[in-house]
Structure 1
Amino acid sequence: MPLSVAEHKLPQCINPLSLHIMRLTSEYIGRAHDDDNTRETDEESESVCAGGAEDEAKETKKEGTDRQTTAIKRKTDKLKRFFGSTVKKTVDAAKSLAQEVSHARHKEDVADIVDDVRGEHNIKLKASNSHKGPYDFDGCVRYVQEMGSGHSGALWCCKFSVCGRLLATAGQDKLLRIWVTRDAYHMFHDMRTKYNAEKKSSPTPSQESLAPLAPPPPSPEEPPLGPAAPFCPKPFCVYSGHTSDLLDVSWSKNYFILSSSMDKTVRLWHISIGECLCCFQHIDFVTAIVFHPRDDRYFLSGSLDGKLRLWDIPDKKVAVWNEVDGKTKLITAANFCQNGKFAVVGTYDGRCIFYTTDQLKYHTQIDVRSTRGKNSTGRKISGIEPMPNDDKILITSNDSRIRLYDLRDLNLSCKYKGYVNVSSQIKASFSHDGKYIVSGSENQCIYIWKTCHDYSKFTSVRRDRNDFWEGIKAHNAVVTCAVFAPNPDHMIRMITDREEKMNAGSKTPDEKDEVKAAEGGMVASSQTGHVLVSADFNGCIKVFVHKAKPKHSSLPASALA
């Protein structure tokens, strides 16, 4: 199928990066053209079969045996074509039926998620059929906020700052938005005010940097925030400058932000400054960027031109670079591992290649694919994530699988499945403590796995396969991003304090005394849990809080109410 025709038939939720890769590789194969050819051949064969006998008789009477032989041969050839097309049609139908059965099985899981309503605020929670419990997130997940004044169009990336108090979101509308937690707003506002005061004393201050970045006050029509909402309702700052979709963002420890785009550039920002600090030009789309974990004067960029670059920010130039070998050189993911010792890139054909960071020299590679079956061909790597405090790396790919590899021997530790990621740039990531893995999905759900499941209860289960997921259905579009907050305790503490203040007025003096007496035992448990943020194809951003249930509590039921 010509790509110009295919693009009109592609689903509207397709990632523009995937579409561009299709243009580069010409690998889109549609079934419509094959079906049309089959239909035309069948019709032609049927007309030959219907009129063949009469033609043969006429030609035999008029022109004798030679003509008869020719007609029989022609009829035989056309019958061969007819049966050949019939066989092809049957095989295609069988393949289509197999695909439909596979989709039907997956739709059953999705239907279960939609119908099984537990929790609040239209959250639907479900676990895989193989997961019989106990469940970590069942009944403990609260939907606490939907970001106002969000993006128009799909969101492609969503990243927390190292401290966990800032959230960067970006995507189709070409804008980079920074959200701040309510308890940290004044700290960052003071940081920005101090910078602008210093800039005013300079001879020629930048007018753009002096532009007010503070969010406007909420409109009267906007509903007030509840006590459990952790983020300010308006973005702390909005950065413009890119001319196409943003594909990735990265934070430094000092609140610098990098953004990469389909406009073939990487831009550097800081939350105190309203203008772009530097622009780094590339030859093709920049699919992945990441600050060096130990020295944020450097960052790594991966591009569809097949080149991996280590940039020196102060010198504004490439310090060292290397090019991916092989037939398909498209880099679709990149990151550092082992605290910056190695740079890792993922490719369109399913390779994960390691380079030494200092000179970007080739070290080794992993072929991310199954040994047999439909996933034996490597698919696009969409995400690479090092595991906190361990020599392991998490790789997301477009075969709807997430794989955890041990960097000490490059062996597969575990493969996680259940979600759908066929063409998107969805990335799986860890919780702050490394205990859980989270990912968005093309079937509108958020999926969560335990990193290390307790397989001792399942004697017949393979220990390198994990389909014991728990799901959250809260979006009405493809969930393009889902991330855990790196430091959830301060958010949970803030939410707990706000709710306690709100509820304090409704308690009797005796109940207040009971709460105070048991407060010491509740502090640790009330501040333990996770904060999860997800974003979808429609630009909707949602925040969830998972607060661990206290194991031991001396509070009466009235105090817990």
Structure 2
Amino acid sequence: PLLGVLLLLLSSTYPLGSLSSNNAEGRGATYSRLGLSPRNSRERRRSAGDEHDLLASQLNMFVRTRTDSGKQLSDLEILEQVTVLNLDTGERVPLSIAEDKLPQCINPLSLHIMRLTSEYVSNSSLEKEKESDEESIDSKKSCAVTEEPGRVKRRTAAFKKFLGSTVKKTVHKAKTIAQEVSTHARHREDALEVVDEVCPTGEQYIKLKASNSHKGPYEFDCLQHVQDLEHVGPVWCMKFSQCGRLLATAGQDRVLRIWVLRNAYPYFLDLRSKYSEEKVSPTPSQESLVSQKSVDDPNVHFSEMNDRAPFMPKPFCTYSGHTSDLLDVAWSKNYFMLSSSMDKTVRLWHILRKECLCCFQHIDFVTAIAFHPKDDRFFLSGSLDGKLRLWNIPDKKVAVWNEVDGQSKLITAANFCQNGKFAVVGSYDGRCIFYTTDHLKYHTQIHVRSSRGKNSTGRKISGIEPMPGEDKILVTSNDSRIRLYDLRDLNLSCKYKGYVNTSSQIKASFSHDGKFIVSGSENQCIYIWKTHHDYSKFSSVRRDRNDFWEGVKVHNAVVTCAVFAPNPETIIRQIEEGNESNGSSNGYVLISADFNGSIKVFFNKTKPKHSSLPASALA
């Protein structure tokens, strides 16, 4: 049976013979389904046998089915010859163990959405349950029409279901793989290596890549890797506090970690000590007993650090309580934190408290959360149940809510824009829907899609970010495009491309001054664009298209998060303490995280205006 399945996957020309050659009953069901009537069972067997032999010979071009002596190989031996590449981790595993390995590497949110939308069903799921009404109706019809014995009837229904679903999914999967291979191939051809120089401190600058259309000058060819932070498992979300001195990270291991800048550590430690002396914290709830101070002895940790590391090597504190993957985090101005999870809850924390302060229950996964920018007693939550909720934290209840209209109601992104005047959600079918914040009344919507081509159908919105100081929003979607929309007329200001985002929850974000955009990517790279590229006066390139990216590959897995620090001057001054420099602390600090749990810290000094000098000339 396994050989038959392999034959089906490797050749769509003769799918029936490969599956039906094992028994006459299956062949009869197959021919009756197609309206074919072989003259007798002998011809039927001969025909199926010929097809099977032909397919077997085709299969031998890919894998060996027999030894040199002619002995038939077992299913396991055949499967071990075929390897599968896990694009998330770069690991190549035999097909025999792929079923156990690969599901663990899928973004769990994407996997859940696939199940909800019936876009992906594993073979084991097909055997255990009926995933669609269409398949259920089909099998009922087959049972009602035929008068074959019960055993044949069951096999016929199962075979029809297998053909109807597996072949369809196999073809779709093949097209998807071909498209992704084409995308990666185009990207490799489009990339141009820029620099590989040694900086004055003796460290090596990171090798920069850029699109062929980007001829320079380059803004991030001075990028330096200064620190690695330890995390457990994939990182799904990462966000700086508004002051820029604290960084929250969370993901698959269900723990919210708070990292503190080295020069801010004494301040927050003192703040926590004063709070403990003045007020005894309530008894922690059972689920948050793991939450504790992670940085206990500063002398030990300072001795472990290298001079250029901006963050303390261990988290300032960790918070446990969620029972499934964390999907999003948010900060208020006064150090309250929200975390949303696949356990269908949002939890409220504070930097000075060990325990969870409040738990807000939802009906489905909570994919996005955001504090109200003007009044942090309220926060917004978007869930896969299609409901957008504005919560009142002191009252611990929903103040107002609304439900997304349309065929696909799944909310996959949410945020505030225009300083809290509107709430905007992103949907699975590629819409950005705007609501007035006070009553969550529908205002308008944008269909995020191309006018033609393969991206003319809306794809999942994975991120929405307001642009600092302007009435614009940055929308990330699963068509590997990032779009900047002007909220005054809802027109597309610019579309950015170059990175790969076909199924992840990757979201792009701005630098603190709004001049640059950064994003992770499924091809293990970090991508950076100028928000407004400096086009030549004589260039015929469209001004609303930007493929002038700069990128670096420093990870060995999907880059799930990449953000700029909101207050880079403080960090750069700290990094350059003790080093001879020109006194300027202008530049950018970048943090990235990946599927393997690796978190990396980079900084890039700003070049003098209009300078196109190499990095080594800026010391």
In structure 2, the CA distance between the partners of 1:290 and 1:6, relative to structure 1 (3 Å rule), is farther
1:103 and 2:181 correspond: no
Q: Are 1:131 and 2:214 an aligned pair?
A: yes
Deviation of 1:228 after TM superposition, in Å, equals 1.6
Matched position secondary structure for 2:579: helix
Residue 240 of structure 2 corresponds to which residue in structure 1? 160
Query: Aligned equivalents of 1:402 and 1:93: distance in 2?
Result: 26
| Equivalent residue, structure 2, for 1:546 | 604
TM-score, scaled to structure 1: 0.77
Deviation at 1:8, TM superposition (A): 6.3
Cα separation, partners in 2 of 1:13 and 1:129, compared to 1, 3 Å: farther
Q: Distance in 2 between matches of 1:14 and 1:211?
A: 28
- Could you tell me how far 1:219 is from its partner in structure 2? 11
For residues 311 and 186 of structure 2, what CA distance do their matches in structure 1 show? 38
List runs of 5+ in structure 1 lacking aligned partners. 32-88, 501-514, 516-521
Specify whether residues 398 and 223 from structure 1 end up closer, same or farther in structure 2 by C-alpha distance, changes over 3 A only.
farther
**In 2, Cα distance between the equivalents of 1:153 and 1:277?**
26
Cα distance change of structure 1 residues 99 and 180 upon mapping to structure 2, 3 Å threshold: closer
Contact 2:301 2:313 in 1 (8 A): no
Which of 227, 247, 253 is the equivalent residue of 1:145? 227
Aligned equivalent of 2:575, options 477, 482, 495: 495
What's the secondary structure of 1:375's corresponding residue? coil
Task: Give the Cα separation in 2 of the matches to 1:315 and 1:309.
Answer: 14
Amino acid at match of 1:145: Q
SS of aligned partner of 1:17: helix
> Is contact 1:447-1:470 (8 Å) kept?
yes
- Alpha carbons of structure 1 residues 458 and 299: separation in structure 2 relative to 1, 3 Å: farther
1:171 corresponds to: 251
Give the structure 1 partner of residue 543 of structure 2: 463
Of 390, 395, 402, which residue of structure 2 is paired with 1:315? 395
Cα offset, 1:13, TM superposition: 3.6
Cα offset, 1:227, TM superposition: 1.9
Shift, 1:454, TM fit = 1.2
Unpaired stretches in structure 2, ≥5 consecutive residues: 6-96, 124-169
Q: Cα gap change, 1:100/1:175 in structure 2, threshold over 3 Å: closer, same or farther?
A: closer
The 3 A distance-change label for structure 1 pair 211 and 97 is closer
Partner in structure 2 of residue 414 of structure 1:
494
* Counterpart for residue 595 of structure 2: 537
Query: Partners of 1:117 and 1:481 in 2: how far apart?
Result: 25
C-alpha distance 342-552 of structure 1, shift in aligned 2 (>3 A): closer
1: CA distance, partners of 2:445 / 2:617: 56
| Structure-1 separation of matches of 2:184 and 2:410 | 29
Partner of 1:325: 405
- Deviation per residue, 1:184-215 (Å, 9 max, x gap): 00111111111111223x8x765979985141
User: Counterparts of 1:156-235 in structure 2 under 5 Å?
Assistant: 156-200=236-280, 213-217=293-297, 224-235=304-315
Aligned counterpart, 1:448: 528
Deviation track 1:457-506 (CA, whole Å, cap 9, x = no partner) reads 56120111100000011111100000000011111122223435xxxxxx
Equivalent residue pairs, number: 468
CA distance in 2: counterparts of 1:552 and 1:352, whole angstroms = 38
Which of 92, 97, 120 is residue 28 of structure 1 equivalent to?
120
Q: Which has the higher contact order (CA 8 A, sep 6+)?
A: 1
Summarize the Cα distance change of 1:379–1:560 in structure 2 as closer, same or farther, 3 Å threshold: closer
1:18 corresponds to: 110
TM-score, length-scaled by structure 2: 0.70
Specify the alignment match of 1:518 in structure 2: none
| The one of 512, 518, 521 aligned to 1:432 | 512
Q: How does 1:238-317 map to 2 (within 5 A)?
A: 238-317=318-397
2:410 & 2:114 partners in 1: Cα distance? 11
DSSP-derived class of the 2:536 partner: helix
Range 453-462 or range 329-338, more displaced:
453-462
Amino acid at match of 1:129: N
| Per-residue deviation, 1:456 | 2.7
Whichever residue aligns with residue 297 of structure 1, its letter is R
Alpha-carbon separation, structure 2, partners of 1:276 and 1:480: 26
8 Å CA contact 1:122–1:474 kept in 2: the answer is no
Matched residue of 1:126: which SS?
Answer: strand
Whether the 8 Å contact between 2:205 and 2:223 is mirrored in structure 1 is no
Bigger Cα displacement from structure 2, 392-401 vs 226-235: 226-235
Matched to 2:530, the amino acid is: K
| Residues 96, 315 of structure 1: alpha-carbon distance in 2 compared, 3 angstrom cutoff | closer
2:525 & 2:487 partners in 1: Cα distance?
Answer: 30
Offset from partner CA, 1:92-141 (integer Å, 9 cap, x none): 9999867644432224446x66x974565583211111100111111x11
CA contact (8 A) 2:213 2:548 kept: yes
What is the distance in 2 between the residues matched to 1:399 and 1:162? 30
Q: Decide whether aligned partners of structure 1 residues 239 and 247 sit closer, same or farther in structure 2, where only a CA change above 3 A counts.
A: same
Match of 1:81 in 2: none
Residue 607 of structure 2 aligns with an amino acid whose one-letter code is K
Cα 1:153/1:559, change in 2 over 3 Å:
closer
**1:151 Cα shift?**
2.0
Q: Structure 2: which amino acid aligns with 1:549?
A: K
Q: Contact conserved, 1:404 with 1:414, CA < 8 A, in 2? A: yes
2:355 aligned partner, one-letter code:
E
In structure 2, relative to structure 1, the CA distance for the partners of 1:205 and 1:476 (3 Å cut) is: closer
Q: Which has the higher mean CA deviation after the structures are superposed, 447-456 or 208-217?
A: 208-217
Secondary structure, counterpart of 2:293 in structure 1: coil
Deviations 1:506-530 (A, max 9, x none): xxxxxxxxx8xxxxxx44xx21111
